[in-house]
Amino acid sequence: MRKEKIQETIVAPQGVAVTVESGLVTVKGPKGTVTRDLSHPKITVTLVSNGIEFSVARPGKLMKMMFYTLVAHAKNMVEGVTKGFVYKLKVCYVHFPMTVKVEGNAVVISNFLGEKIPRKAKILSGVTVKASADIITVEGFDITLVSQTAANIELATFINRRDRRRFQDGCYITEKAGVPV
């Protein structure tokens, strides 16, 4: 038996402005502005006095999944413009000492497994990357851009056709928003 209606309200804290125009949600806060399309034919997104309200009438199992996915996206938008997101990556090497540095909008990984040509990972706009000796910190206010940049760095050191138990060199995500992976 289906429920009649599901409703959820995301409360915007002080200093955060929210606008909704035909499913396009914009959240503006002290860290920055995030815009995302959260429209769905059966889910209504409305602006209320203290935040965003999502509602769906007579949802089935798949509609509930889509509903709570959109709610999670909105929560991440509000959290991003207030606190921001931080991902940390660990630089590991055993065989060859590699160096990691930030040059413009790319992370350059030199001497990875003794390779002559450095590997590069793209840094997306709105994300800042800091590289120290063995820790890479990726920060930003949009979780999609931050996580994609961290994934780009991790994939730049992906090793093919080698035993992963023996060749553990690379850059690996160790923390997502302060929570160890």
What is the average pLDDT across 111-122? 94
8-27: pLDDT as tens digits: 999 999 999 999 998 899 99
**Which residues, in sequence order, are CB contacts of 156 under 8 Å at separation 6+?**
107, 109, 119, 120, 121, 171
Let me know whether 174 and 103 are in one domain. Answer: yes
Compute the distance between CA of residue 155 and CA of residue 109 in angstroms, rounded to an integer. 12
| Boundary residue ending a domain (62, 82, 102) | 82
Residue 110 sits in the same domain as residue 155: yes
Residue 32, domain CATH: 3.90.930.12
pLDDT digits (tens, 9 = 90+) for 41-94: 999 999 998 899 999 999 999 999 999 999 999 999 999 999 999 999 999 998
Phi-psi region of 69 (alpha: psi -120 to 50; beta: other; left: phi over 0): alpha
**How many whole angstroms separate alpha carbon 38 and alpha carbon 40?**
7
Is there a single domain that holds both residue 60 and residue 92? Answer: no
How many domains, in total, are found in the chain? Answer: 2
Q: Domain range holding 105?
A: 85-180
Give the end of a domain, one of 66, 82, 98: 82
Euclidean distance between CA atoms 46 and 62, whole angstroms: 21
Evaluate whether 140 touches 116 at the Cβ level (below 8 Å). no
Do 173 and 94 lie in one domain? The reply is yes
